[in-house]
Structure 1
Amino acid sequence: MAVNPSYVNPLHCDYVSEACPYQASIYGYYNNLACNAFFAALFGICFIFNIGLGCHYRTWTYTLAMGLACAAACIGYIGRCIMHNNPFQSLGFEMQICCLTFSPALNSAALYLILKHLVLQFGRDWSRIRPKYYTWAFISADISALILQAAGGAIAATAGDNENFRDVGDHLMITGISWQVLTLLLFATATIDYTVRRFRSSSPLSPSAQALLRSTKFRMFIAAATISFFAIFVRCVYRIAEMAGGWRNPIMQNQSLFIGAETCMIGLATILQTFIHPGIFFPALASYRQSKKMARAKSGSDSSVEEPTGNAELKV
């Protein structure tokens, strides 16, 4: 006699059997091994390229964010591969629920570094706040979202039979992802606000800014960053809907939707953020530290120059 999966507690199952059909697992399906293996390999490759490009162009903060994002995503999809033959496999579940929940916050962190450098190149006078505060504000908010998601994923993965404890983890993940969505919206608002204020101004762009704006590489970089933003945003909205319905809800148990809204979106963002690398396509970000040191040395005072806007880094 067939068992009704809705009456089976997946936490009481260690493997698929007549008493524990795969439909009773948290996700209600067998993970697609080929898809998960492909993306585990993809994120692993992106990790290697990010480290290599980061060391070559010395984009240390960007590399840290993207390197951790790729590593976490790779581990997460390895976890899903582990669950392929056994949807009740606890180690694989814990790996993927923790790593895949928070890794996109690191992709977002890499995006947040860009606005400061755009302001420095096109003119800080049209920014409502000092350029360095963009990075501090958005990265701090992103770290908060990351901590909430990581903590929620860890609690949910280790809650065992404690349903209340598991719900706490669920709510923390939803809060963290919602906070990430809000941060993304604020980032988009700040970017649009600066862009409108700058290009509505009657003041002409500096020669270096004009050269940057005409650069095909720079335009490709901005297009890649924009697409990455929307891909991450779509993924976060999907995750809120997935988690809001509780465990084993229809959205959570739709593998095709997960692949499309989570896997492909973050895969696309990661590919663009890796290979449309600022060291190649936006050298002003890559050479910022060196330019700042040169500007300070020229001024003769470490405290008199906060952020350089020199032209040497704009040879794109």
Structure 2
Amino acid sequence: MSEGKGYEEYVFYRYTPTLAGVVIFVLLFECTTIYHAWQTCRKRSWFMVPIIIGGIFETIGYIGRALSHNDREALGPYVIQTLLLLLGPALFAASIYMILGRIILLTDGERYSLIRRTWLTKIFVGGDVLSFLTQSGGGGIMSGADEDNPDNMKIGEKVIIVGLCIQVIFFGFFVLTAFVFQKRGREHLLALEGWVLWRKHLYVLYGTSVLILVRSVFRVAEYAQGNDGFGTFISSSFLLTTTSLRRLRISSGEMALQGQFFFSYKPSVAAVVIAALVFSAITAIHVYRFVKNHKTKRIRLLLVLSMASFNEVLGYALRIPGSRSSRTGAIHALSPLLLIFTPLMVTSVIYYIFSKISTAVAPHCVPLKSSLMLKILSGVDLVCQLAISAGVMVAARANSSAGKGVLLAAIAIHVSNAMGFVVAVVIWQRRVGGKWIGGLDHLSISTQRDVLAIYIATGLIMLRSLLRFIEFACGPNGPFQDHEAPFYIYDFLPMAVVLITCIQWYDSDNIPASYRSRNWELEEVGVQDA
């Protein structure tokens, strides 16, 4: 058997990666990563940064599986998903190791630990780095496989097995160390009950450690069995069992989801590149402004705007493969899904900004208590996100009409939610300023700009969502399906303006204002807090 033939016999996938599993896990990892990033900045818990990076790795890794949905023989996507999905848990482990050291410090229980606290993090993180580099090296060797070097795949697998074994050994010893610490210091820890929440943190540490340990052991077995072992098939079988989704069908350059066409044209590369570059620039500005002002508590939540802008970059970038090949169904499905979610992410920030403005200026003028209104509005949008995901899954299960109905209902609820919010803002403005339009001249220029930005951003998002509703309601025969230009008019332009408008929120300096300045502003117009 020739070397070239040996390379050809190595099969990347012995199944077709399911699109449904990819979409679900991309969304799950994206949402949890955003939440971790927000919590890290809010609490300044910088030791959690590896978990954020690991979440990004997992997200991109599953996108790599999406790229393999219709091209199982492409080396690039296979290496991306293999390497990043391998390395993600190693980064999770780094933060978990540091957490035990902080629990020991919090409880003043270093005398009960097998290893001195100052050495504990260094030893386990050092082992994790060694495992990380070994697995990275294995992935690098696999990426160098070609017809001239067919054995690189198997060599890379063996190196990865070594890296995984290192991870299992260190993690096993880490769990033992945590257990011994709890066992030895049992009486000391019990005396701290009610004062220190050590039990919650320690049990979360146990749970996450066991999950990563089980995952690593399974990965060792998977790679040890080789490319044709039973482990190769389990992930696909699990995803297919839990989601029961059918594959996308491609025909004549048009993509259909059980008969529902997303569009009947090939996306323009030039337009996609321009859109991606514009949102990349907007993302860079948001990140810069966030880093510059992140010490302000209110500013930390604005990290979601950077994530939303990056979501747009990713959504448009995933349209590029559609201009080259008709066999990109997974890409076409991910792209609109990401673009649909962006407005929901932005509105959550808008609701938060208004909550802070109304609380700082005139909390009694809001139709509903600001904190309660924020929870209701954000909760409804969260339900909409879940409904949109469910709509796509239902449509993929040969019930396109039901899926379409769920999708339309979710968008309609989102629009209604935004309209209710605008009504609440108008009522608040009327009560504060005595006018339906304007009436905020007595407030600071910064507050006036914030309120104006809320109106502009919410209005554009509502307009964009309404046009999206019309697009999906009309179906493949609608006015938006045969031409690409309308897509950029009702999606690209509104979201670009919205994200640019939101940039000014980083400069606001009066939310929340001091009690004295609030009282002074309200006294000027004869409005007093209850």
Q: What's the TM-score, normalizing by structure 1?
A: 0.68
Identity in percent: 26
Distance change (3 Å), C-alpha of 1:205 and 1:168: closer
Distance change (3 Å), C-alpha of 1:222 and 1:199: closer
Shift in Å at residue 38 of structure 1? 1.2
Could you tell me whether the CA contact under 8 Å between 2:94 and 2:128 is conserved in 1?
yes
| 1:168 corresponds to 2:165 | no
Distance change (3 Å), C-alpha of 1:248 and 1:54: same
Distance change (3 Å), C-alpha of 1:124 and 1:224: closer
Could you tell me whether the CA contact under 8 Å between 1:10 and 1:26 is conserved in 2?
no
Aligned-partner Cα distance in 2 for 1:51–1:60: 10
Alignment-derived partner of residue 28 in structure 1: 14
Distance change (3 Å), C-alpha of 1:83 and 1:130: same
Once the two structures are superposed, the pairs formed by residues 5-44 of structure 1 within 5 Å of their partners are 11-12=7-8, 25-44=11-30
Structure with bigger RCO (C-alpha 8 Å, 6+ apart): 1
Aligned-partner Cα distance in 2 for 1:222–1:193: 12
Aligned-partner Cα distance in 1 for 2:124–2:217: 19
Shift in Å at residue 69 of structure 1? 0.6
What is the SS of the residue equivalent to 2:232?
coil
Counterpart AA for 2:166: W
| 1:196 corresponds to 2:200 | no
Counterpart AA for 1:65: P
| 1:91 corresponds to 2:81 | no
What is the SS of the residue equivalent to 1:113?
helix
Structure 2: which 5+ runs fail to align? Answer: 241-530
CA offsets 1:219-270 (integer angstroms, 9 cap, x no match): 443333222111111110110011002223332133346759xxxxxxxxxx
Alignment-derived partner of residue 153 in structure 1: 139
Aligned-partner Cα distance in 1 for 2:155–2:181: 39
Aligned-partner Cα distance in 2 for 1:248–1:158: 21
Q: What's the TM-score, normalizing by structure 2?
A: 0.42
Could you tell me whether the CA contact under 8 Å between 2:54 and 2:88 is conserved in 1?
yes
Shift in Å at residue 108 of structure 1? 1.1
Aligned-partner Cα distance in 2 for 1:9–1:26: 15
Structure 1: which 5+ runs fail to align? Answer: 1-7, 14-23, 261-316
Aligned-partner Cα distance in 2 for 1:69–1:29: 26
Could you tell me whether the CA contact under 8 Å between 2:134 and 2:163 is conserved in 1?
yes
Shift in Å at residue 167 of structure 1? 2.3
CA offsets 1:95-128 (integer angstroms, 9 cap, x no match): 1011011111111111111211222233222234
Distance change (3 Å), C-alpha of 1:250 and 1:206: closer
| Alignment partner of 1:234 out of 214, 217, 222 | 214
Distance change (3 Å), C-alpha of 1:187 and 1:205: closer
Root-mean-square deviation (CA), in Å? 2.4
Alignment-derived partner of residue 194 in structure 2: 211
Shift in Å at residue 12 of structure 1? 4.3
What is the SS of the residue equivalent to 1:87?
coil
Once the two structures are superposed, the pairs formed by residues 13-162 of structure 1 within 5 Å of their partners are 25-62=11-48, 64-122=49-107, 123-161=109-147, 162=149
Aligned-partner Cα distance in 2 for 1:79–1:86: 11
Could you tell me whether the CA contact under 8 Å between 1:66 and 1:110 is conserved in 2?
yes
Alignment: residue pair count = 235
Shift in Å at residue 180 of structure 1? 0.3
Distance change (3 Å), C-alpha of 1:84 and 1:11: farther
Larger Rg: 2
